[in-house]
Structure 1
């Protein structure tokens, strides 16, 4: 990833109160990341940062669209993205990621880079199954499909519960007497 300071927040100069930031994430933002999950998009990010003496709470409100490729037809389409996430940043002895949404930074850290977090939250908001809007209202299973598998232990055409004993392998007859 190329370093772009446009998505960094200078926390050293911020007072202990709530601050609001807005970012427009466009094709240039997604091109920074060496990936093919999201080739381009237009996402608006409202970031609310609440700074206290010991903790920084960063709330992300993301909404917009990203370009995706349909898993079924391979057609490109715009996927709507909505995400509301929270990142907790606490002060400690060293810089480390404690959990998916909890970071620890040293008190002398000057900036908080948000680009990777913004990208990750957008990626998490994408559905696992990427379907073009023309396929999204179709039912998942076709009840008339021939590919539906039904397991049975009876031979085909046998409609009785016990079945016909003449078709059974004679080696199994000894097991019937074990009651």
Structure 2
């Protein structure tokens, strides 16, 4: 996995201060992962690493576009991506996840690889419903048609009209038994 080495940072040799890193991601980056959502893309990541004696704080700024498939038409399109995230790694006796944005890494850790973090942040920035931009334009034009509200209870005006189901006599007797439970 020579390509993954491009995303490694040797933290053992770093001094306790802020360091800047840049990573470019293209189709070959996404080929390293088995995800089916992102088919490719072209992105640039600026990563600021603040190192202290006990913690590493990483600030990710990722911008570019990824190629994904539209959920409605199954057509591929380019989705813009703009991500700002912060991730912390604290030194401890063993490697383990303490929180979604805080990991503990072993004291003897020499290098960290940011490829998986970059991929995850890109994937999490994508919308749940992936729609081609032309469908988003149609939704804006027809916004009233896309919103449906269902109500199982009559409004107050309907209740005052005197047309209650109780007065009709066409009620299934099973419903009468349920109403008596109140």
Q: If the TM-score is normalised by the length of the shorter chain, which range does it land in?
A: 0.7 to 0.9
Structure-2 residue corresponding to 1:156: none
Cα pair distance change 1:79/1:12, threshold 3 Å? same
- For the residues of structure 2 that align with 1:152 and 1:106, how far apart are their CA atoms? 59
Aligned residue-pair number: 169
Residue correspondence of structure 1 range 13-162 to structure 2 within 5 A: 13-137=13-137, 138-139=139-140, 141-142=144-145, 151=152, 160-162=161-163
Cα pair distance change 1:167/1:83, threshold 3 Å? same
Structure 1 moving runs of 4+ over 3 Å = 147-153, 163-167, 169-176
Offset of 1:117 from its aligned partner?
0.3
User: Do 2:97 and 2:104's aligned partners in 1 also have CA atoms closer than 8 Å?
Assistant: yes
Cα pair distance change 1:175/1:35, threshold 3 Å? closer
Structure-1 residue corresponding to 2:157: none
Structure-2 residue corresponding to 1:168: 170
- For the residues of structure 2 that align with 1:116 and 1:129, how far apart are their CA atoms? 23
Cα pair distance change 1:168/1:11, threshold 3 Å? same
Cα pair distance change 1:103/1:160, threshold 3 Å? same
Gaps of 5+ in 2: 155-159
| Alignment root-mean-square deviation, CA | 2.9
Cα pair distance change 1:174/1:4, threshold 3 Å? closer
- For the residues of structure 2 that align with 1:129 and 1:34, how far apart are their CA atoms? 20
* Secondary structure at the counterpart of residue 116 of structure 2: helix
Gaps of 5+ in 1: 154-158
User: Do 1:47 and 1:58's aligned partners in 2 also have CA atoms closer than 8 Å?
Assistant: yes
* Secondary structure at the counterpart of residue 39 of structure 2: coil
Offset of 1:71 from its aligned partner?
1.1
Q: TM-score, normalised by structure 2?
A: 0.81
* Secondary structure at the counterpart of residue 89 of structure 2: strand
Q: TM-score, normalised by structure 1?
A: 0.82
